[in-house]
């Protein structure tokens, strides 16, 4: 009992730390690594609840493939510059976001903690987890009999996704042309609005490295990287 | 086999054939076809009449239901015919006189380019009129009512290339429409009160209708009758309707359509019996209309206009009768009037044809030399309408007046008005006869001779100023005049004179259907008894005799006065023919001024209100939506994160909803 | 209370979910926003497995299986889109993609 509780608390701490890291850290690579930590923690929690197969899949697919994919894209596009945290272009977004978050958390906790300590659903009679049967057998049995149609559809989905990704990422188009976006990016427009409504920070023009998302296209540094990669 | 359905369907069939093949049948084929169809319908009516006679009095009614027309829940209307004494009587003279007028029209409309179309309309009119009379519920009657109104419009403006004729048709239609509004409201009220619009059900339920409701129903239907039968204040369309061909005037505006109002009131007599003072309204309207119309007829120079105002006046008599709940007298006068008025109109048509479509009586004179048959029949019609015994008009008019005399406290006043109208009727009809058939042949005089007032009168040498009252000339026929001073009128074709003879014979004898010499002779009264809920008692016989002699005396006085003025020229004509009478008491002008001035302002106000408020509201809704949408547009900023924020807030709200619904 | 029942897991999942949601609303870098989405999906997965354990029903794990697969497909396509956008416009962030504004 105490071992389980200890395991849980430790893993939970790792998960939460990773989550905060994803949200709060600046460098996208740091964010990715925090995500990995969270995923591992989740995998451990899966094992603790007897979903062994899913834990393995979690590590292999999520941490091993998806996060790698993220890192590839980060490296490919050179968005490893940190984004500016000081300004929020959309008015009221941050307070609203925090309020929404607090609301969701509070309400969820209210819902969860007020029903006593047991779930109120019905225990299944059809697909009961037999303690004797290995987890993977049970899961396989269900997947290939009751949910075989969904299973096949998901395989089709994967194929379609691959085709779509190949098509989407195929050719490099031209950089943004002035005719299509005569006012520049939306960020430029919001920049103007910010400067009109709030006191402009005199150190605005001197944000340290990479204001790629804030002001004009910083073409110089990133272009070399992308040129090399093309 | 039940043949009632043939009665209206034969003319309808005739109409359909003429619609398809009328032009091919041509002149005079279309005319003979139409006449044959109507004559056939008349024979069916006679057969049904004898069938009815064979039945005992209490059961004297044959019904035939063809099919259900409107099966709408509790409101069910079927196409059904009710042949009871009243409707078969009306069918008899409608089809009989109708057939005669069709025959007459074959000759009258000869050479007209729209020959077959005329008979098409006439057949449709007859079909509608028969439907009106035979229908067993108010809706069928209304169908026929509207049908005859439409045909009247089509036929009045038959020569519609002349805008005056088209206007006359429009005037008739619009004025009728006002009446139709009353009819419809009356029907609705009956439906709400009785729950059915069948005459059988109405008759059964009538004693239980509250007096106020019955009065309202009566007044509403009377409004319809006022429109259709040209009583004041809606009498203005009938004189203008003389713009149509003379057979139309004879059939529609003398014998049949205008009697539809009287028929309606008589058919609804169970309700009228409950209606209290509404009957007095009817009687007084009839009496006053009769008086005013007769006064106008005195001063008209167009022969058809005189007859038109005379029709309005005689219709006033009929309404006087039904208003005093003397339905037998009303129907009796309707029947006799149908015969002699049709005779008079057809006779005038014969005269007009002979005088190359000239209608102004100031250009007639001494026509008895040239048109003997027309003259003879016209004289019989004149005697009939003036109320000289033993012709038909005397018996019916006398019964109307006698019934009015003892109809309550105002009876003698009504009787007095009726008597005055009889005097005026005799006067103006004699005037017509003298101006048309006697005197000098005024069309042979040149214009300046006439205008200078030098009329060489054959029978009198006194000078009469020709400054007769101005009247509105008959519309539409000015361009047909070929009346030169050496024109010789010729008697008309036999197709035109034969109906005249038949009608004249009928005008002599038809009085025999209801002689007041004891109940054996009162055929009409016995015949109509099953359909009437209330029998009006005539005064006792001694009073009757006095009243009858008063009527005869008044008629003779009227004839003598007209002879005195127009033949002997002892009194100047223009003393009697006042301009205000010639202009019909300026009724038309008043209407035009009211409708054009305040009326139009009112209508414009309504139209403006509609444009500003109603349209404004509708457009305002659209404008408001646009304004709100423009305000809301910035929400769709295209920024993913604000959308995500929206989703989160929505999710939070959903959670809140769920949490509040949990039993914590 | 001190026993380790599924409520603990559910609370943890709720917290991870909330953190992911706030991060999605707050960050501008599209890749980081995507990672926050992954966070939220994982929280949901944890929830499902907890319920599967509590209700003794294998169907919960089957659902997680499908969620995983679909999340993978979604990441593939999403990153493809991000690559396509970022190529045209260097250093674009989520606020630049606003052509759908009304």
Query: Per-residue pLDDT tens for C34-48?
Result: 999 999 999 999 999
Of A62, A77, A119, the CB nearest to C86: A77
Residue A227 to chain B, least CA–CA distance (Å): 29
Model confidence band, residue A214 (pLDDT cutoffs 50, 70, 90): very low
Residue with the two structure tokens 């008086």: B291
What's the pLDDT at A14? 96
Average pLDDT over every residue of A39-67: 93
Whether residue B420 is predicted with pLDDT greater than 60 in this model: the reply is yes
What's the pLDDT at B592? 80
Least confident residue range of A207-221, B309-323, B353-367, C32-46: A207-221
Inter-CA distances, B366 with A12, B359, B437, B439, B566, Å: 131, 15, 4, 5, 13
Distance CA C16, CA C11 (A): 9
Q: Are B258 and B317 in contact (CB under 8 A)?
A: no
Model confidence band, residue B95 (pLDDT cutoffs 50, 70, 90): very high
B642/A contact by beta carbon, under 8 A: yes
Least confident residue range of A88-92, B103-107, B376-380: A88-92
Residue of B nearest to A105 (CA): B652
Residue B650 to chain A, least CA–CA distance (Å): 9
Instruction: For residue C19, tell me if it sits in a domain.
Output: yes
Mean pLDDT of chain B: 83
pLDDT (tens digit, 9 = 90+) per residue, B301-328? Answer: 889 999 999 999 999 999 999 888 888 8
Does the beta-carbon distance from A107 to B664 stay under 8 Å?
Answer: no
Distance CA C102, CA C97 (A): 13
Residue C4 to chain A, least CA–CA distance (Å): 6
pLDDT (tens digit, 9 = 90+) per residue, A136-179? Answer: 888 898 899 989 999 999 999 999 999 988 888 776 555 566 67
Q: Are B396 and B291 in contact (CB under 8 A)?
A: no
Instruction: For residue C12, tell me if it sits in a domain.
Output: yes
Does the beta-carbon distance from B658 to A111 stay under 8 Å?
Answer: yes
Residue of B nearest to C25 (CA): B641
pLDDT (tens digit, 9 = 90+) per residue, B450-481? Answer: 544 444 443 333 323 332 332 333 333 444 45
Residue B636 to chain A, least CA–CA distance (Å): 13
What's the pLDDT at A20? 95
What's the pLDDT at B237? 87
Residue A156 to chain B, least CA–CA distance (Å): 29
DSSP strands (E only) in B331-447 = none
Does the beta-carbon distance from B638 to C99 stay under 8 Å?
Answer: yes
B656/A contact by beta carbon, under 8 A: yes
Least confident residue range of B405-409, B655-659, C45-49: B405-409
What's the pLDDT at B633? 85
Does the beta-carbon distance from C102 to B635 stay under 8 Å?
Answer: yes
Indicate which of C55, C90, C96, C99 best probes the interface with A, i.e. most A CBs within 10 Å of its own CB: C90
Does the beta-carbon distance from B638 to C100 stay under 8 Å?
Answer: yes
Of C20, C29, C50, the CB nearest to A28: C29
Which pTM value belongs to this model? 0.64
What's the pLDDT at B61? 78
Count how many domains chain C has. 1
Distance CA B460, CA B462 (A): 6
The per-residue b/e assignment along B491-511, b for 16 or more CB within 10 angstroms, e otherwise, is bbeebbbbbbbbbbebbbebb
Does the beta-carbon distance from C25 to B640 stay under 8 Å?
Answer: no
Q: What is the domain range of residue C51?
A: 6-88
Residue of A nearest to B652 (CA): A104
Closest CA to B240 of B315, B144, B322, B305: B305
Residue C74 to chain B, least CA–CA distance (Å): 17
Contacts of A8 in chain C (CB under 8 A): 4, 8-9
Instruction: For residue C94, tell me if it sits in a domain.
Output: no
Model confidence band, residue A207 (pLDDT cutoffs 50, 70, 90): very low
- Which chains are within 8 Å of B by 3+ CB pairs? A, C
Mean pLDDT of chain A: 77
Does the beta-carbon distance from A226 to C87 stay under 8 Å?
Answer: yes
Residue of C nearest to A4 (CA): C4
- Which chains are within 8 Å of C by 3+ CB pairs? A, B
- SS3 for B450-517 is HHCCCCCCCCCCCCCCCCCCCCCCCCCCHHHCCCCCCCCCCCCCHHHHHHHHHHHHHHHHHHHHHCCC
pLDDT (tens digit, 9 = 90+) per residue, A22-36? Answer: 999 988 899 999 999
Of B649, B652, B664, the CB nearest to A114: B664
Does the beta-carbon distance from C14 to A108 stay under 8 Å?
Answer: yes
Distance CA B140, CA B124 (A): 15
C37/A contact by beta carbon, under 8 A: no
Instruction: For residue C96, tell me if it sits in a domain.
Output: no
pLDDT (tens digit, 9 = 90+) per residue, B98-112? Answer: 999 999 998 888 888
What's the pLDDT at A213? 43
Average pLDDT over every residue of A78-101: 75
pLDDT < 70 regions, chain C:
1, 91, 102
Instruction: For residue C27, tell me if it sits in a domain.
Output: yes
What's the pLDDT at C76? 92
Contacts of A186 in chain B (CB under 8 A): 638-639
Contacts of A103 in chain B (CB under 8 A): 652, 655-656
Residue B616 to chain C, least CA–CA distance (Å): 29
Two structure tokens written together for B594:
């009211």
Model confidence band, residue A80 (pLDDT cutoffs 50, 70, 90): low
Contacts of B641 in chain A (CB under 8 A): 90, 93
Indicate which of A92, A102, A110 best probes the interface with B, i.e. most B CBs within 10 Å of its own CB: A110
Residues 6+ apart with CB under 8 A from B576: B298, B299, B565
Residue C35 to chain B, least CA–CA distance (Å): 15
Indicate which of B638, B653, B656 best probes the interface with A, i.e. most A CBs within 10 Å of its own CB: B656
Residues 6+ apart with CB under 8 A from B375: B367, B368, B437
Residue B637 to chain A, least CA–CA distance (Å): 10
Contacts of C32 in chain A (CB under 8 A): 22, 28, 31, 83
Average pLDDT over every residue of A193-215: 52
Closest CA to A124 of C52, C65, C50, C49: C52
Residue of C nearest to B643 (CA): C25
Helix, coil or strand: residue A176 = coil
Distance CA B441, CA B363 (A): 7
What's the pLDDT at A67? 93
Model confidence band, residue B621 (pLDDT cutoffs 50, 70, 90): very high
C17/A contact by beta carbon, under 8 A: yes
Residue C67 to chain B, least CA–CA distance (Å): 20
Distance CA B466, CA B473 (A): 16
B662/A contact by beta carbon, under 8 A: yes
Does the beta-carbon distance from A103 to B656 stay under 8 Å?
Answer: yes
- Between C76 and B410, the more confident residue is C76
Question: Which domain CATH number covers C21?
Answer: 1.10.287.3510
What's the pLDDT at B582? 76
ipTM summary value = 0.91
Instruction: For residue C10, tell me if it sits in a domain.
Output: yes
Does the beta-carbon distance from B640 to C99 stay under 8 Å?
Answer: no
B639/A contact by beta carbon, under 8 A: yes
The rounded percent of chain A whose pLDDT value lies above 70 is 67
Of A38, A105, A124, the CB nearest to C14: A105
């Amino acid at each position: 009992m105490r071992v389980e509780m200890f395991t849980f608390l430790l893993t939970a701490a790792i998960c939460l730390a990773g989550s905060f890291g994803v949200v709060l850290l600046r460098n996208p690579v740091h964010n990715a690594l925090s995500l990995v930590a969270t995923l591992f923690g989740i995998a451990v929690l899966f094992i603790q609840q007897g979903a062994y197969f899913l834990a393995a899949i979690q590590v292999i697919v999520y941490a091993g493939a998806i996060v790698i994919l993220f890192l590839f894209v980060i490296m490919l596009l050179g968005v490893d510059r940190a984004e500016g945290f000081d300004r929020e272009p959309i008015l009221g977004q941050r307070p609203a976001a925090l309020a929404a978050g607090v609301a969701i958390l509070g309400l969820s906790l209210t819902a969860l903690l007020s029903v006593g300590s047991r779930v109120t659903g019905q225990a299944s009679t059809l697909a009961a987890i037999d303690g004797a049967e290995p987890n993977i057998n049970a899961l396989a049995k269900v997947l290939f009999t009751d949910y075989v149609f969904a299973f096949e559809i998901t395989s089709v989905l994967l194929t379609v996704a691959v085709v779509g990704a190949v098509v989407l990422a195929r050719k490099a188009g031209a950089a943004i042309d002035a005719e299509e976006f005569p006012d520049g990016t939306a960020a430029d427009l919001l920049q103007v609005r910010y400067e009109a409504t709030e006191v402009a920070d005199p150190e605005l023009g001197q944000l340290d490295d990479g204001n790629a998302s804030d002001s004009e296209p910083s073409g110089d540094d990133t272009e070399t990287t992308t040129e090399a990669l093309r | 086999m039940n043949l009632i359905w043939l009665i209206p369907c034969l003319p309808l069939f005739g109409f359909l054939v003429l619609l398809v093949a009328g032009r091919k049948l041509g002149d005079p084929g279309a005319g003979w076809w139409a006449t044959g169809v109507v004559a056939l319908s008349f024979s069916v009516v006679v057969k049904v009449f004898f069938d009815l006679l064979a039945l005992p009095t209490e059961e004297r009614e044959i019904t035939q239901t063809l099919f259900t027309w409107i099966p709408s829940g509790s409101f069910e209307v079927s196409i059904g015919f009710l042949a009871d004494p009243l409707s078969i009587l009306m069918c008899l003279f409608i089809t009989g006189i109708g057939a005669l007028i069709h025959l007459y029209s074959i000759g009258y409309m000869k050479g007209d380019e729209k020959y077959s179309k005329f008979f098409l309309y006439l057949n449709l009119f007859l079909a509608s009129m028969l439907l009106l009379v035979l229908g067993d519920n108010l809706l069928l009657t209304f169908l026929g009512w509207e049908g005859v109104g439409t045909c009247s419009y089509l036929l009045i403006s038959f020569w519609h290339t002349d805008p005056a004729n088209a206007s006359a048709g429009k005037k008739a239609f619009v004025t009728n429409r006002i009446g139709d509004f009353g009819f419809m409201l009356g029907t609705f009220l009956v439906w709400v009160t009785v729950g059915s619009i069948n005459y059988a059900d109405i008759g059964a339920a009538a004693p239980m209708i509250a007096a106020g409701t019955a009065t309202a129903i009566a007044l509403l239907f009377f409004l319809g009758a006022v429109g259709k039968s040209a009583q004041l204040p809606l009498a203005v369309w009938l004189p203008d309707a003389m713009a149509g061909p003379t057979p139309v005037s004879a059939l529609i505006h003398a014998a049949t359509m205008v009697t539809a109002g009287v028929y309606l009131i008589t058919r609804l007599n169970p309700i009228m019996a409950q209606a209290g003072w509404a009957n007095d309204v009817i009687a007084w309207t009839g009496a006053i209309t009769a008086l005013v119309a007769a006064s106008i007829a005195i001063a008209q120079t167009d022969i058809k206009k005189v007859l038109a105002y005379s029709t309005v006046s005689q219709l006033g008599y009929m309404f006087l009768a039904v208003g005093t709940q003397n339905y037998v007298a009303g129907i009796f006068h309707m029947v006799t009037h149908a015969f002699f008025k049709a005779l008079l109109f057809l006779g005038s048509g014969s005269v007009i044809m002979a005088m190359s479509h000239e209608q102004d009586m100031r250009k007639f004179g001494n026509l008895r030399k040239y048109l003997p048959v027309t003259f003879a029949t016209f004289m019989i019609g004149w005697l009939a309408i003036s109320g000289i015994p033993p012709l038909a008009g005397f018996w019916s008019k006398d019964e109307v007046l006698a019934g009015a005399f003892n109809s309550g406290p105002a009876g003698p006043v009504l009787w007095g008005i009726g008597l005055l109208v009889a005097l005026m009727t005799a006067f103006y009809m004699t005037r017509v006869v003298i101006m048309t058939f006697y005197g000098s042949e005024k069309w042979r005089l040149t214009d300046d001779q006439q205008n200078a007032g030098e009329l060489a009168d054959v029978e009198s040498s006194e000078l009469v100023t020709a400054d007769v009252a101005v009247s509105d000339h008959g519309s539409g026929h000015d361009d047909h005049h070929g009346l030169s001073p050496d024109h010789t009128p010729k008697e008309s074709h036999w197709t035109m004179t034969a109906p005249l003879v038949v009608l004249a014979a009928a005008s002599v004898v038809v009085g025999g259907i209801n002689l007041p010499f004891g109940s054996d002779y009162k055929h009409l009264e016995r015949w109509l008894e099953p359909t009437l809920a209330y029998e009006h008692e005539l005064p006792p016989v001694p009073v009757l005799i006095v009243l009858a002699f008063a009527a005869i005396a008044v008629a003779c006085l009227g004839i003598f006065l007209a002879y005195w003025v127009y033949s002997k020229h002892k009194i100047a004509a223009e003393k009697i023919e006042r301009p205000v009478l010639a202009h019909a008491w300026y009724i038309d002008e008043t209407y035009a001024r009211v409708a054009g001035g305040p009326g139009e302002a009112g209508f414009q106000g309504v139209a403006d209100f509609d444009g500003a408020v109603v349209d404004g509201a509708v457009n305002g809704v659209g404008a408001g939506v646009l304004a709100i949408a423009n305000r809301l547009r910035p929400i769709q900023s295209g920024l993913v994160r604000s959308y995500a924020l929206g989703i989160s807030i929505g999710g939070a709200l959903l959670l809140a909803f769920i949490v509040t619904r949990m039993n914590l | 209370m001190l026993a380790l029942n599924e409520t603990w897991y559910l609370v943890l999942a709720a917290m991870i979910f909330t953190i992911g949601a706030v991060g999605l609303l707050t960050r501008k870098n599209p890749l980081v926003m995507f990672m926050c989405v992954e966070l939220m999906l994982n929280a949901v997965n944890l929830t499902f497995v907890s319920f599967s354990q509590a209700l003794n029903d294998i169907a919960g794990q089957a659902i997680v299986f499908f969620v995983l697969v679909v999340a993978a497909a979604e990441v593939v396509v999403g990153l493809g889109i991000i690559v396509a956008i970022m190529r045209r416009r260097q250093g674009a962030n989520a606020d630049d993609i606003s052509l759908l504004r009304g």
